[in-house]
């Protein structure tokens, strides 16, 4: 049974150049990391040892970036909350 392309209508804009293309569904990617993540998530059963290691590294990088983003958002919410409380204290008193 041949696998049908997952996203046959995916096209990159003229300003983006394809760095990688999925060997299984021909989907284009603009970075090696997104290519590795795609392979690990959509074609996991077909991965060789090298591709599996690349997927795990890309996945760890993404988890770290998401964690840092969440920390930044918590800090921002804290700052905004403190600003609201200060403004409330100034204008209500």
The model's pLDDT over 50-64, given as tens digits with 9 standing for 90+, comes to: 999 999 999 999 999
User: Among candidates 30, 37, 43, 29, which has minimal Cα distance to 60?
Assistant: 37
Phi, psi at residue 65, to the nearest 5°?
Answer: -65, -40
- Position with higher pLDDT, 10 vs 75: 75
Tokens read off for 78: 């804290």
pTM, two decimals, is 0.68
With vertex at residue 86, the alpha carbon angle to CA 84 and CA 90, rounded to the nearest 5 degrees, is 115
How many other CB atoms are there within 10 angstroms of residue 19's CB atom? 14
Residue-level pLDDT at 1: 42
Phi, psi at residue 77, to the nearest 5°?
Answer: -60, -40
């Amino acid at each position: 049974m041949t696998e049908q392309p997952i996203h046959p209508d995916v096209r990159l804009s003229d300003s983006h150049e394809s760095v990688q293309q999925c060997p299984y569904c021909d989907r284009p990617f603009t970075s090696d990391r997104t290519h590795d993540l795609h392979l690990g998530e959509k074609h996991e059963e077909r991965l060789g040892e090298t591709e599996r290691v690349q997927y795990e590294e890309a996945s760890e990088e993404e988890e770290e970036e998401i964690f840092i983003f969440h920390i930044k958002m918590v800090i921002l919410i804290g700052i905004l909350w403190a600003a609201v409380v200060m403004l409330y204290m100034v204008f209500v008193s």
